[in-house]
Amino acid sequence: MESIYYVLCWHCHRRCKHCYEERFRPYVRDELESVVAEAKRNAPSIVANLPERMTYLELDPQDPQRFLEKTGKITLSGGDVLTEPVRESVLYPTLEAIHDKYRDNGGIRVVVQTTGDLLTPAIIEELLARGVWNISVSGLDDYHVGMEGEKKQAFAKRVPAMLLDAGLQDSTALDTRSERGNLEGPLFSMFGATEDTWIGKLWPRGRAWQNNFSQATLADNFCDAWSGGLNFLNHQYAGSEVPCQGLTVKPFPEIRRGTGNVNAVSGPDQVITRFRRAVRCIQVGIRKLQGAVCLLPGGHGHSCPSA
């Protein structure tokens, strides 16, 4: 598998109106203790059930008849994994457990995704000390509460300067997966839900759907992108990704129900088998729904075009 996108914890320090997941929000008192405890409890099981070897095969550009084995990546996201309740109690132990698992077995590249405003020089050093390959800053837009307009401009200067000072290389301008993958790191990249990005139209679910922010149509395939379910059926080869939201494994994150539970499967092959069955069901369902009504993830209907 080239990439696993692992939602580590639901806790976030914002309740943004454009967010695709209603569970990403601030929690307080008993609720906060419960959601952090859930993440702490689940993380060791999830890491234990990750593929034994996180490598993938990519065609050799010098010899198209030959495959090269390359090191895959795991992206840890939230919520925001750098919030105070989550960072030291969930994120740091998970980073250490992932590196322990793969250190002598093909290696691993770990990406930490964060809105970015919680980054400090000390936190950056702590992440690097735990082997983070890429810090992915996702808050560069006008949707994130408190980071709009002029604040966004200041943020766009302050955060890269801090990351560069810590010795990270800016990989934002690299266009392709393979360009970034060829770099040893540590790296950082910055993006947000802006019109010129793949995520700009916003997933049609969660608060984005409730607040009528999504501009997506049936022509927009969010599953054909990283943090979707990109090429999940070709799980041994370049360009394949599987999302994991808590214990739930999904072929793509925006379907209502997952096709597997991390604790209930013994390895990626069983998960992929379930994915294949799910895709067959989806294909059959689409054919049956020609001219009928399709349901978007939020439960809203629209006319379904001919499949």
- Dihedral sign (CA 89, 92, 96, 102): positive
Q: What percent of the chain has pLDDT over 90?
A: 38
For the chain, which residues make up each domain, given as ranges?
Answer: 3-265
User: What kind and span of H or E run contains 94?
Assistant: helix 92-102
pTM above 0.85?
no
Amino acid at 56: Y
Report how far residue 209's alpha carbon sits from residue 93's, in angstroms, rounded to the nearest whole number.
34
Nearest to 8 by CA among 67, 87, 68: 87
DSSP designation for 11: B
pLDDT at 288 over 60: no
Sign of the four-CA dihedral 73, 74, 80, 86: negative
- Is the confidence at residue 294, as pLDDT, over 50? no
**Residues 153-163: pLDDT tens digits?**
888 899 999 99
Lowest mean pLDDT among 32-36, 114-118, 142-146, 183-187: 142-146
The predicted pLDDT at position 274 comes to: 55
| Fold entry, domain 3-265 | TIM Barrel (3.20.20)
What confidence score (pLDDT) does residue 152 get? 77
